[in-house]
Every structure is written in structure tokens, then in C-alpha cells.
Amino acid sequence: MPGMRLLACVLVIALGATAAAAQPDSFPNRPIKIVSPFAAGTSVDITARRIGDAMAPLLGQPVVVENKGGAGGSIGTEMVAKAAPDGHTLVLGTIGSHAFNVSLYRNLPYHPLKDFAPITRTVYGGFNTLLVHPSLPANNMREFIALAKEREAQGKPLTFGSSGVGSVGHLLVELIKQATGIKAVHVPYKGSSLIVADVIGGHVDFFIAAPSIAIPQVAGKTLKAVAVDSAERSRYLPDVPTMRETGLNNVEAQIWLGLFAPAGTPASVVAKLHAATLKVLAMDQVKADFDKDGLVILTDPSPEAFRKVVAEDIDKWGRVIKAAGIQPQ
């Protein structure tokens, strides 16, 4: 019988240790995984790895990144939605995976708010730039809008390229169209390099470019920047006016990346992850590394503030998608 009592004591101790390990106060008690729902080498992947590397020493556990791309980020995002809500599995979501996709996919296998606990935004793309061929007679948005209406009256509406239906480049142009009343014909591509080549070659009239594309093209004078969608002029393109300068106050696509945990993750765990992420993004070296990539640090003062941003973007871009007549896939 003494042996039975000893075994019972061991079991009680083991169960107690297991329960303690599952408590929020012990978080993290094993490696943390950040899922990048896009391919390796993308800005999402690079951001996840950079944050993970700097976060590991703060939390005392390794932080690994797993790429799980496909379906506009939906595959990797769904995987985290179904993960254990203990803070050890996160996803670096995007405005696409957590705002656009709600209206772009008929049977989205997750809900960005119901199935997730938002932590904070991390970075955003800085600014988006409307690029045209240097010969196009438009140097600002007023001239661009006038040209678009003139071409429409001639029965030759402007054409624009994007990396696909529902992409940032597509939806931002749809927002411009809705704000100004201009017409433009969408030409979807499978890659940004093809769009650049066709605008330079005169096959399409314009497109919306990320900083990594816009800066070298404008510097090399192969393409001309008409306007940027940021609130203030970009320090990389200081001579290019903003869309706000021509009265387009709500024409902006702040392309953020943000950390999410599965819904049900304890508030104390979410708070610890929020604090650690903000510490990482305040590090001089981390800020310098993101600056080299043309990415701007963007954080939220609380997880609740980030939740509000997601809800607002779901509503904003849902209205744009519906008004554009884009049918869910």
C-alpha cells in the first residue's frame, strides 16, 4: 500500500505541474510559433522573422516562423484560428487576410474578429504611389482626374494594372474611382514586374506601386509618380504630392501587418505579447532594419485599439468591394 500512496502522490504532483504549465502566469513555457500566411521572402515573412528574433530573448523562449501560404493568406490564418488559445501559436496577419478577405471570399474559413485575439499592428507599407508613363500629361491628382475624364469622353478610358482581383493595387484604384467618379479599366497581372514592364511599354496607363517599386522607378525616371496616398509626403519622394493635397481625404490604403492569437487566449497572455512586441519595435536596430525595407513601425496602444482598427477596415473595404461589384470567390 505504501507503494500505491507514493504513486498517487507522484500523479498529484505531475498533474499539478501540468496545470501550472497551462496557467497564463507561466507563459511562455515552450517555443512560440509565428505563422506567416505568405511565402518565404515576402515582407510578411521578413517582418515575422525580424520580430521573432528580437522577441525571443525578452520572453525567454525560442520564436520560430512557419510559412503557410495560399488563398490570399487564408490557409495559414485558418490554421492559427484553430490552434490552442494559449499564446504559443500566433499569425502575422495583414489587412488582406483580416479585412479584405471577409468580402472577397464567400466561404472564408475564419472570422478575423470572432476567431482571433488581436495583439497589435507592427508595421505598414509606408505609402502607395500612383505611377504613370513619363509622357502621360498628369503631374498631380487634379491633372490625372481631368485626363481620365477626357479619355472617358473620347471612349478611351484609362487602363490600370494590378497583381490581381482584390489586391491592394486593385482596391485602392477602386477607392479612387469611387471618390472622384472617374472610369478606368482593370487589367489583372500575376506579378508586379510584368505591370512595370507594360506601363513602361505603354500597354497600360497606370498602377499603384509599393515603395520598393516606386522609389527606384521614379529615381531612374522610367516612370512618373503622380501622387502618394500617405497623410504626409514621403521623405523618399518629397516632390510628389499627396492625394490629400487635392482634396482626396479618405483615399488611403494603410497596408498594415499585425499579430493575432487565437480567440480565447487569456487576456494576460495577450497583454504580455503586446508589451513584448512594442519593446521589440522600439529597438533602434529593428527600426533601422525596417526603414531599409521601406516599412514604417506602426503599433497600437492596446489590443482593444487594434481590434477597433480591424473592425473599421473590414467595414471600409467591404463597402469599396461591394461598390466596385467585385464578386466573392
Q: pLDDT of 188-245, one tens digit each?
A: 998 788 999 999 999 999 999 988 899 999 999 999 999 999 888 988 899 999 999 8
Domain residue extents for the chain: 34-125+254-323, 129-246
How far separated are the first and last CA of the chain, in Å rounded? 66
Give the CA dihedral 260, 264, 265, 271, nearest 10 degrees: 80
pLDDT for position 23? 55
Per residue in 276-292, pLDDT (tens digit) is 999 999 999 999 999 88
Per residue in 165-201, pLDDT (tens digit) is 999 999 999 999 999 999 999 999 987 889 999 999 9
Does domain 34-125+254-323 correspond to CATH entry 3.30.830.10?
Answer: no
Does domain 129-246 correspond to CATH entry 3.30.2350.10?
Answer: no
Q: Within 10 A of 50 (CB to CB), how many other CB atoms are there?
A: 21
State which H helix or E strand residue 141 sits in.
helix 141-153
> What is the DSSP-derived secondary structure letter of residue 98?
I
Distance CA 318, CA 308 (A): 15
The low-confidence residues of the chain, meaning pLDDT below 50, are 1-22
Same fold, 34-125+254-323 and 129-246: yes
Quote the pTM value. 0.85
Q: Which is nearest to 212 in space by CA: 231, 187, 236?
A: 236
Distance CA 16, CA 67 (A): 35
For 20, 171, 272, 276, the CA distances from 28, given in Å and listed in that order, are: 12, 39, 10, 12
Distance CA 118, CA 123 (A): 14
